[in-house]
Amino acid sequence: MSNLLKRSITGSIFVVVLISAIYLNQMSCLILFGILTTLGLWEFYRLSLKTGAFPQRVLGTFSGTCLFLLLGSIHYSFLDKKYLFIILPLIFLVFCLELYRKKENPFTNIAFTLMGIIYIAFPFSCLIFFSSFDSAEWLNKYNPSVLMGYFFLLWANDTGAYLFGRQFGKTKLFERVSPNKTWEGAIGGGVFSLTIAWVISNYFQLLTFQQWIGVSIIVVVFGNLGDLTESLFKRSINVKDSGNILPGHGGILDRFDGVFISAPLVYVFLNIIKLI
């Protein structure tokens, strides 16, 4: 099977599963992104071993997953917010446990453990807040339109950058980190994402056209920066893909690299316009 065919099949299945879980209800959305959080954390900690660090993989993965599930469950009213305190002892246990591990470079080990939680679990948690709104009309109601629209814009940016980059790409965007990315591709991705923002504004009317444009701009700028950041990580340890769980696409970090920086910024934007 050719890599292109493998990539197409995997990508199609991935999109169907993701959109179905988001569209169905709160529980399916929470379960899917909970699984992705766990896999992403474990993948991150496995990669960090190549730097010479020894992160607390089990505790870090458990703590990050608990953070995601607690924030999601509280937001969806499955749990009362008073249970959020549970995450605090798990976070500070990272420091205490390092005393007994007898590993070199404890500062680095603790830093990588906490970095995984910040870099993986927190952005995935932000996605949950896209799917319902704290206002009189949408209180305690699940509406997946903003979350789905966010992914449509992200995919449009990636697809446009790939197509325009292959066809017209000449000027390197950030050659030291990612030699194949070009300014032409980045601009093409931005144009495609803005076009999709106009399209979805006619169907997902919880945000206005101007607000969707704002989300698109954030996704384009910070999605690309997230992609470059993950490329920087991989280049520093001489690996091509973060994993192989998605044939033709690599790992969880490869597939969601644009999410890790753009999602928190979109969350901030939605708060600013008082929709969350």
Residues 148, 113 within the same domain: no
> How many whole angstroms separate alpha carbon 48 and alpha carbon 57?
10
pLDDT for the residue 5: 66
Q: Which residue range is the domain that position 264 belongs to?
A: 142-276
Q: How far apart are CA 190 and CA 153, in angstroms?
A: 9
- Asked whether residue 225 falls in the same domain as residue 125, the answer is no
**pLDDT value at position 138?**
45
Specify the pLDDT at position 4. 58
CA atoms of 144 and 18, how far apart (whole Å)? 12
CB-based contact 266:213 (threshold 8 Å): no
> How much is the pLDDT for 248?
64
- pLDDT score of 227: 93
Which of 134, 156, 184 is a domain's end point? 134
> What is the per-residue burial (b if ≥16 Cβ within 10 Å, else e) of 3-37?
eeeebeebbeeeeeebeebbeeebeebbebbbebb
pLDDT at 8: 74
User: Is 7 a member of any domain?
Assistant: no
| Residue 77 in tokens | 């009213």
Burial class (CB in 10 A: 0-12, 13-18, 19+), 99: exposed
Instruction: State whether 174 and 205 are in the same domain.
Output: yes
pLDDT at 140: 53
pTM over 0.85: yes
> Is residue 258, in this structure, part of any structural domain at all?
yes
Is 96 in the same domain as 31?
Answer: yes
115 and 75 in a common domain: yes
> CA-to-CA distance for 109 and 93, rounded, in angstroms?
13
Number of folded domains that form the chain: 2
pLDDT above 90: percentage of residues in the chain: 64
Same domain flag for 83 and 194: no
pLDDT for position 190:
95
CB-CB contact of 148 with 19 (8 Å): yes
With a cut of 70, which residues of the chain have pLDDT below it? 1-7, 133-140, 248-249, 275-276
Tell me what pLDDT residue 71 has: 92
What is the per-residue pLDDT across 124-154, written as a single tens digit (0 to 9) for each?
999 998 987 544 444 457 889 999 999 999 9
For the chain, the straight-line distance linking the first and the last C-alpha, in angstroms and rounded, comes to: 45
C-alpha to C-alpha distance for 268 and 276, rounded to whole angstroms: 9
**147 in the same domain as 274:** yes
* Amino acid letter, residue 253: L
Establish if 14 belongs to a structural domain. no
Considering the domain architecture, whether residues 149 and 64 belong to the same structural domain is answered as: no
Residue 19 located in a structural domain: no
